[in-house]
Chain A
Amino acid sequence: MTTAALLNFNQIKFTYPIGKSAVMESLDLEILSGTVTAILGPNGAGKTTLLHLAQGWLKPQHGQILLNQQALSSFSRRSLGQWIGLVPQAEHIPFEYSLLEFVLLGRAPHMAPLAMPAQADYEIAIEALRQVGMYELQERSILSLSGGERQLVLVARALAQQPKLLLLDEPTSHLDLSNKGRLLNLLRELLAKDVTILFTTHEPEVASALATQLVLMKKGEILKTGPFSDVFTSDNLSELYQLPVSVADISGRKVALWA
């Protein structure tokens, strides 16, 4: 495992244009290359904002974000699209795209701006659909899918994008148990291909099953960060959620128990 930082947040201050108070005052964070980092935190902690800052969509009022030791702002949009993939929590899809048409959009950053998808793009998109187990549904309308299936299609689109850094915003929130397992396995495969993964979640056991690094986030600040097993402790989680949480070890995996 390499230890170089892929993504750095240096003293990031961020306020939404319409918001009254700053979401983040001065946030520092380092995401190591080749790791899976989970972000845990209560609702409104600023997890999604952090992902949007990391993808370059939101720009901090103060501080600097570095991607691969270079200022994020110095990347062109297209190269950002090649570097970073985003799986949003949910997405408004206005038209009845077929799954394949939709997943093909993930190829956009690899294509010339006015080009049409080529044979190779189709093959990559179809492979991405196969990976999430939706190959047979490729001609179905995306609007006919359930919430969980749609979430998998969003993942497939990011797979087709072939990013080096994959950001996922609560990727398992709509998935049933077997699809959760499928997604986790997929992410492990990506990790083996040297893709760095950063995801938010409200499910400690998902973080526990996958993450090598853990970030605890609260009110726009990093409460704790470090290797997963060091940070995933009863004390830390109890402080994070303001609730007595105990951490147990069940067949080698840490599990959080609460209430």
Chain B
Amino acid sequence: MNSDQVVNGINSSNNKISRRQALWWLTLLLFLVLGFSFFLGRYPSPGFIKIERLMNDSLAQSLVFNLRLPRLLTAALLGMALSAAGVIFQMIFGNPLVEPGFLGVSQGASFGAALSIIFFTQSAWAVQTSAAIFAFLGLGFSYFLARRVHYGGWVLRLILAGIAVSALFSAGLGVLKYTADPLSQLQEITFWLLGGLWGLTWPKFLSILPAVFIGLFIAYRMRWRLNLLSLNDETAFSLGAAPGRERTLVLVAAVIATSAVISVAGMVSWVGLIIPHISRRLFGADARFVLPGSMLIGAAFTILCDDLARVLFAGEIPLGILTSLIGAAIFMGLMIQKRVLVQR
């Protein structure tokens, strides 16, 4: 009998699924989605590729192994990182409606990417590095601004500072777009802002893997502690936590992972907001289950959205548009629907 079954407590004898089992089912689901997406594409014709063809056609092999597979894995990382960051931001700020778009992280990253595209180089690593640097600058700037604000509680101050910093970066981005060369740079910036995973290759995937792994590893190890950090400062302190230091640590972990995925995928919005909500519907509030649940659901959701993005039309649909469209629709549905729980 593991400790999770105690959570079921009095009702442990009935046939509800335990939360640990639910996580295994989600893992299985993720692998199914990965497998299914591996065979799905537009070569030679839209739909599933036949195994015989994959065995014999060298173009098909190259396509599937060198382009599709790294893209699928990156989509999984993207979904995991954005969803985990969403859970972390929501826990830390004690507010279920925040995501990394707050605190200037996303806006900083887009500003940094545009800056690199216009003034330095369009090469992937430069854009990625610049995006990551400005994502951190956005967070840092929001943090220090919030410390100087003398109004309201810490969370409110952070959010106010984040709004101001985001607006600043958005305005900067506007200036950059205005000065960009409309024939080359502006297109590049626009595609980046819409978000997508086209042209994903193994080197790109491998370049973000360490950062995403480190960020998610820290977050995962601190998953139970996130509950503690969602409480008032003095309560968290009285339970032996260092609220300031520990919150900063998980936030930095979240930003490391998000800025890495944003740097290759551009702005893919709504995943960080909607997935933690779905996960909470399934697992309750305990971040010990909500965090891994979000990572698994987020990965599967992003892979499926990316499937649509690359297969639906001959010309690719930007992933960010799809996640926003589907995410917003699900969000509305969740808000008006009665709650559906696996178990509480």
Contacts and interface: CB of A to CB of B under 8 A. Distances in A.
Interface of A: 18, 52, 55-57, 77-78, 80-82, 84-86, 88, 91-98, 100-101, 105-106, 108-109, 113-119, 121-122, 126, 136, 138-139, 141, 161
Contacts of A117: 3, 224
Contact of A106 (B8, B94, B221, B239): B239
A114 B233 CA distance: 19
Contacts of A136: 10
A114 B225 contact: yes
Given A100-B9, A114-B222, A86 B285 contact: no
Contacts of B286: 97-98, 101
B62 interface: no
A91 B238 contact: no
Nearest to A52: B234
A152 to B, nearest CB: 16
Contact of A139 (B95, B221, B280, B344): B344
Given A77-B240, A95-B280, A105 B228 contact: yes
A96 B237 contact: no
Contacts of B234: 52, 55, 57, 86, 88
Interface string B229-250: 0111111011111100000000
A193 to B, nearest CB: 20
Interface residues of B, number: 36
Contact of B10 (A101, A138, A141): A138
A86 B239 CA distance: 8
Nearest to B93: A94
A44 B3 CA distance: 44
A130 B53 CA distance: 65
Given A85-B238, A108-B241, A117-B224, A92 B232 contact: yes
B242 A77 contact: yes
A84 B11 CA distance: 34
Nearest to A93: B231
A118 B288 CA distance: 13
B118 to A, nearest CB: 41
A91 B6 contact: no
Contact of A105 (B6, B8, B9, B231): B231
A94 B235 contact: no
A117 B239 CA distance: 14
Contacts of B344: 98, 139, 141
